[in-house]
Chain A
Amino acid sequence: MIEITESYVDSLAPNSSAIKNAQGLVKKRSFVQLNRSEDDALLFGECSGSGKSNYQCSADFIHPEKPVLRCSCPSRQLPCKHALGLLYAYIGGETFVTASVPEDIVAKREKAEKREEKKSQQAAEGAETKPKKVNKTALKKKIQAQLEGLELLEKLTLSLIRGGLATIDKKVLKTIQDHVKQMGNYYLTGAQTELRRLALLLSNADDREAIYTYAVEQLTLIHAFIKKGRAHLTAKLADPDLTLDHESTIEEWLGHAWQLAELKDCGLMAEQVELIQIAFLSYDDQARQEYVDQGYWLEQATGEIHRTVQYRPYRAAKHMREDDSFFDVALVKSLYRYPGDMNRRVRWEEMTSRPLEQHDLEPISAMAHRSYADVVKQVKNQLKNPLGDKNPVMLLHVAEVRQTEQGQFAITDAAGQHLALDDVFTFGHATVPLLPHVPAASLTDTTMLVMFEHGLDSGRLVAQPLTIIKGADMIRLLY
Chain B
Amino acid sequence: MSTALLQELHQEVRRLYIAGSELAAGDFRLKRLLPQFQQLGERAPVFKRLGEGIAALLEPSAQQTQTSAETLQDLGLLLSSVLRTQGTISPEGELTAVKSRPNSLSTKLSYRKLAAVQEALTTTGSGRYEVIVQAFEAGMFQDLRLLKHAIAALNDPYIDIAECAMNRILPSYGPQIVPHLIELFNPSGGKLETRKLRVIGQVGGEEVADLIYQAAESGSDDVRVTAIELLAGREQYEEALLGWTKDKKKAIREAAYHALAAGGSARAVDRLYEAFSSKDIELAAEASFKCHSSELTKRLVRDLGLELKQASEAKEKEDKKKIEALWTKIQHFLTALDGKRSEALYDVFVHVTNHYSFFVSLGWLELFDAAAYYLEQTDTEAALALLHELEQHNVRYMPHSFRSSFRLLSPAQLYERYVESMRNKWKLQTNRDLAKRKKQLLSSIEQKVMSREYRPYPILWSIPNETVPLSTVVMLPLEQLAAQWDHRWLDWLIEQNALELVCAFAHPGHVAAKQFMIGKLESNPEFRNAFAGMLLSGLERAGVSDDVRWEALVTALEDKRNTNCYVFEGHVLEQLYQLPSAYCDRLAAVLSKFKYTAGEQLRYVVETMQAAESAANTSKPV
Interface, chain A (partner B; CB < 8 A): 7, 10, 15-17, 19, 30, 48, 50, 157-159, 161-167, 212-213, 215-217, 219-220, 223-224, 280-282, 322-327, 372, 376, 380-381, 383-386, 401-406, 408-410, 412, 418-420, 433-440, 443, 454-456, 459-463, 475-477, 479
Contacts and interface: CB of A to CB of B under 8 A. Distances in A.
Given A212-B18, A406-B93, 8 more contacts: A10-B112, A157-B73, A164-B18, A324-B110, A386-B81, A402-B95, A412-B95, A443-B100
16 contacts: A10-B110, A15-B112, A16-B113, A19-B113, A161-B20, A162-B22, A166-B20, A213-B14, A223-B73, A380-B84, A405-B93, A419-B90, A437-B105, A439-B100, A440-B100, A479-B111
A402 B91 CA distance: 10
A404 B94 contact: yes
Given A408-B93, A459-B87, A476-B107, A437 B144 contact: yes
A358 B486 CA distance: 79
A477 B73 contact: no
A455 B87 CA distance: 8
A282 B115 contact: yes
B610 interface: no
Contacts of B144: 434, 437-438, 475
Q: Which 3 A-B pairs have the closest CB atoms?
A: A164-B20, A461-B87, A404-B93
Contacts of A30: 465
B525 to A, nearest CB: 33
Contacts of B69: 157-159, 161-162
B121 to A, nearest CB: 14
Nearest to A208: B18
Contacts of A438: 100, 144
Contact of B84 (A48, A383, A439): A383
Given A437-B144, A443-B100, A404 B95 contact: yes
Contacts of B81: 384-386
A386 B110 contact: no
B145 A434 contact: yes
A7 B68 CA distance: 58
B111 A282 contact: yes
B77 A223 contact: yes
Nearest to A32: B465
Interface string B101-125: 1110101101111111000000000
B76 A216 contact: yes
Interface in B65-89: 67-70, 72-74, 76-77, 80-81, 83-89
Contacts of A383: 84-85, 87
A162 B68 contact: yes
A401 B98 contact: yes
Contacts of B463: 50
A161 B21 contact: yes
Nearest to A15: B112
A164 B107 contact: no
Contact of A167 (B20, B67, B103, B107): B20
A50 B3 CA distance: 69
Given A404-B93, A405-B94, A436-B101, A479 B84 contact: no
A418 B101 CA distance: 23
Interface string B1-32: 00100010010011011111111000000000
A15 B111 CA distance: 10
A164 B432 CA distance: 92
B43 interface: no
Interface of B: 3, 7, 10, 13-14, 16-23, 67-70, 72-74, 76-77, 80-81, 83-103, 105, 107-108, 110-116, 144-145, 147-148, 463, 465
Contacts of A386: 77, 80-81
Contact of A420 (B7, B13, B91): B91
B10 A456 contact: yes
Contact of A166 (B18, B22, B67): B18
A220 B93 CA distance: 34
A405 B147 CA distance: 23
Given A220-B77, A386-B81, A459 B111 contact: no
Nearest to B6: A459
A50 B465 CA distance: 9
Given A410-B91, A436-B100, A219 B67 contact: no
A381 B77 CA distance: 15
A195 to B, nearest CB: 15
Contacts of B67: 158, 162
Q: Is the interface of B mostly helix, strand, loop or mixed?
A: helix
A163 B68 CA distance: 11
Contacts of B99: 403, 436
Nearest to A224: B77
B80 A220 contact: yes
Contacts of A159: 69
A459 B89 contact: no
A418 B114 CA distance: 32
Contacts of B83: 454, 456, 459
B89 A418 contact: yes
Contacts of A7: 110
A324 to B, nearest CB: 5
Contact of A461 (B20, B21, B88, B98): B88
A402 B7 contact: no
Contact of A402 (B96, B102, B116): B96
Contacts of B7: 459
A166 B95 CA distance: 42
B111 A280 contact: yes
Nearest to A381: B85
B93 A216 contact: no
A434 B107 CA distance: 11
B95 A161 contact: no
Contacts of A15: 112
Contacts of B105: 437
A325 B77 CA distance: 37
Given A50-B463, A418-B90, A460-B87, A405 B145 contact: no
B110 A408 contact: no
Given A216-B13, A434-B144, A459-B87, A475 B80 contact: no
A7 B67 CA distance: 58
A403 B98 contact: yes
Contacts of A380: 84-85, 87
A318 to B, nearest CB: 15
A202 B528 CA distance: 64
B110 A479 contact: yes
B73 A459 contact: no
B235 to A, nearest CB: 36
Contacts of B22: 162-164
Contacts of A212: 14, 17-18
A259 to B, nearest CB: 28
Given A223-B76, A386-B81, A439-B102, A402 B97 contact: yes
B13 A433 contact: no
Nearest to B87: A461
B480 to A, nearest CB: 36
Contacts of A434: 144-145, 148
Contacts of A454: 83-84, 87
A459 B18 contact: no
Contacts of B93: 404-406, 408
A229 B91 CA distance: 38
Contacts of B108: 327
Contacts of B107: 475-477
Contacts of A376: 89
Contact of B102 (A10, A163, A435, A440): A440
A474 to B, nearest CB: 8
B112 A16 contact: yes
Nearest to A383: B84
